[in-house]
Amino acid sequence: MSTPTELEQLKRQFLEHTEIEKGRAVKTIENYDHYLTRFLDQSKVKRASDITEPVVREFRLWLNRQSTGNNRVTGVTLSKKTQNYYMIALRAFLKFLAKKGVSSLSPEAIDLAKVPERIIDFITEAELGRLLDAPDTHTETSDVKSLRDKAMLELLFSTGLRVSELCALTNDLDLTRDEFSIRGKGGKVRVVFLSDVAKDAVKKYLAARKDMNDALFIQVGKEIKTKGASPLTRRSVERIVKYYAIKAGISKKVTPHVIRHSFATDLLSNGADLRSVQMLLGHANIATTQIYTHVTDKGLRETHKKFHSRRK
């Protein structure tokens, strides 16, 4: 077994520091490990001082010419966004080295490639209404599955939760209150709020459950393939949302994240300020929240009509 190089040891220290001191998610650590390992393997550098601008430039050229895993035949290369993930990991590593006093390339020398502005998938207010009403909960004999799915959809729209955050909820929510705390990305805690409709839907769902599972959203009926009901997974929630979108006659691709978009655009369209929406969504950077503003400024159309010169 070969002895780890200086850089491999430093990489391990960086990953441990990022997980323990910085409190980043395990998945983030795994991604950083993958990106940095690929950089070290490809560049063949052995010492921190070997990381120079020419070395990074050569690596970026190599990255830019790599075909994606599913597109080797067609020759589709890695997107600029994916290439930037490598650079973000490398920049974070160089910041760690600088903090430790290890001589290497300055992290400021790492620039990210420009990427096309993100296009948001969103549904109209009418489509959202049909989606939320799609589960059949309008009869006294509504089954647990319909009640669960109604509660899940209403909760997603009321809180703007990420699907991973939704799947982590337990059934001990205090439904006497209009708010609860959620631990999001990077272990950061934020407060989200329950609408009366969402609270009522969750209450009806919990009242119909007969199991002892601690998870809020679990498998029911024919979904149960083992002796006990398991908590819903991210993929399960995505399938459920897709099912009701089709049932509601929505031709667009609808995911839990699209409902999160609808939550944000609804708030901004009705006058909420950007900083408040940032806090409700749990975005670390307000620039992430700003992607919603171009679809929510109702005044832009009126401004265009009023002031844009028209040919006589």
Q: 22, 95, 190, 257: which is the annotated catalytic residue?
A: 257
283 is catalytic: yes
Side chain identity at residue 296, one-letter code:
T
292 is catalytic: yes
162 is catalytic: yes
For residue 124, give the nearest of 279, 217, 261 by alpha carbon: 261
Q: Which of 86, 205, 244, 292 is catalytic?
A: 292
Tokens, residue 272 = 């909420």
- CA torsion, ordered 188, 193, 194, 195, to nearest 10 deg: -150
118 labelled catalytic: no
Q: Which of 24, 162, 199, 261 is catalytic?
A: 162
Q: Does residue 234 carry a catalytic annotation?
A: no
In the set 91, 148, 199, 260, the catalytic residue is: 260
Pick the catalytic residue from 185, 203, 209, 242.
185
Residue 10 CB neighbour total at 10 angstroms:
20
Q: Is residue 47 annotated as part of the catalytic site, yes or no? A: no
Q: Which residues are catalytic?
A: 162, 185, 257, 260, 283, 292
